[in-house]
Amino acid sequence: MRIEYTKIAPDVVNAMVGLEQRVHASGLEESLLDLIKLRASQINGCAYCIDMHSKDARAHGETEQRLYELDAWRETPFYNARERAALAWTEAVTLVADGHVPDEVYEEVRQQFTDRELAFLSLAIVAINGWNRLQIAFRAEPGAYRPGMFDTILKKAA
């Protein structure tokens, strides 16, 4: 790693962890959070986060087939309407410079999520994009992550 940002700015990292804690306590399905974190990480090319979230998804019961097909989710029958809407929203928010989150994507996600759920889904996407940028910028090395390594941190009261 280039620098250990978690030691240099622990208060800011704790704030980001607090966001993660709130998202995980929001009631959104863990499997859905796994998918959107993995998809955003694929888009951003964050090897560390791809490693982490693919391992967590498997540990939470995700199938290999759905993991392998995630980057081509539109062309497969393996995801339900709610997951498809969340993945479309994830892509639009992650690639915000490419279209400023089109109205048709918003309309699709609104059919599947309540206002509260959409707010937390969006915050989950903001969080993973932030983590991706930090891990990429500071060259976090993938491979050493173990499923659930940070579960105790995420389950603490926010």
- Residue partners of 53: CB distance under 8 A and separation at least 6: 34, 37, 38, 41
Report the interhelical angle of 103-110 vs 115-137 (nearest 10°). Answer: 120
Quick one: pLDDT at residue 5? 94
Number of CB atoms found within 10 A of residue 64's CB: 10
Quick one: pLDDT at residue 158? 44
Quick one: pLDDT at residue 156? 63
Distance between CA atoms of residues 120 and 113, nearest Å: 10
* Domain boundaries of the chain, sorted by first residue: 13-145
Distance between CA atoms of residues 44 and 126, nearest Å: 13
User: Would you say the pTM of this structure is higher than 0.95?
Assistant: no
Count of residues making up the chain: 158
Quick one: pLDDT at residue 157? 46
- Residue partners of 118: CB distance under 8 A and separation at least 6: 89, 109, 110
Quick one: pLDDT at residue 46? 98
Residue ranges, the chain, pLDDT below 70: 156-158
Of 3.40.50.2000, 1.20.1290.10, 1.20.200.10, 1.10.3210.10, which CATH number belongs to 13-145? Answer: 1.20.1290.10
Residue 154 near residue 37, CB atoms below 8 Å = no
Can you point out the beta strands (E) in 14-79? none
In one letter, which amino acid is 35? Answer: L
